[in-house]
Amino acid sequence: MKIYFFSKKTAEQTDVQKKIIKFLKESGVLVFSNLLERTRETDNLSFTNMNGLIVEGDDVVSEAGYFVALALAQEKQILYLLPKGFVLPDQLRFLLEDKKLKKFFHLAHYSPKSITDHLADFIDLTETGELRREVPTIKFTLRFTPRADRYLNWTCQRKNLAKADYLRKLIEEQIISDVDYQKFSKPESAQKDKE
Span 138-173, pLDDT tens digits: 778 889 999 999 999 999 888 877 888 889 888 888
CA dist., res. 89 & res. 65, Å (int): 11
DSSP string for 37-51: PP-HHHHT--GGG-S
The pTM of the full predicted model, rounded to 2 decimals, is: 0.65
Position 40 scores a pLDDT of 59
Give me the residues paired with residue 78 across strands: 53, 105
Return phi, psi of residue 135, to 5°: -80, 125
CA dist., res. 105 & res. 77, Å (int): 6
Q: Looking at this protein, which amino acid is placed at residue 146?
A: P
How many other β-carbons are positioned within 10 Å of the β-carbon of residue 11? 4
Position 60 scores a pLDDT of 74
CA dist., res. 38 & res. 17, Å (int): 17
> CB burial class (10 A; 0-12, 13-18, 19+) of residue 140?
exposed
> What is the SS3 assignment for 28?
coil
Nearest residue to 52 (alpha-carbon basis) of 23, 78, 80:
78
Position 80 scores a pLDDT of 92
Which regions in the chain score pLDDT beneath 70?
Answer: 39-45, 61, 129-137, 184-195
Q: Across the chain, what does the average pLDDT equal?
A: 82
Position 195 scores a pLDDT of 45
Position 193 scores a pLDDT of 46
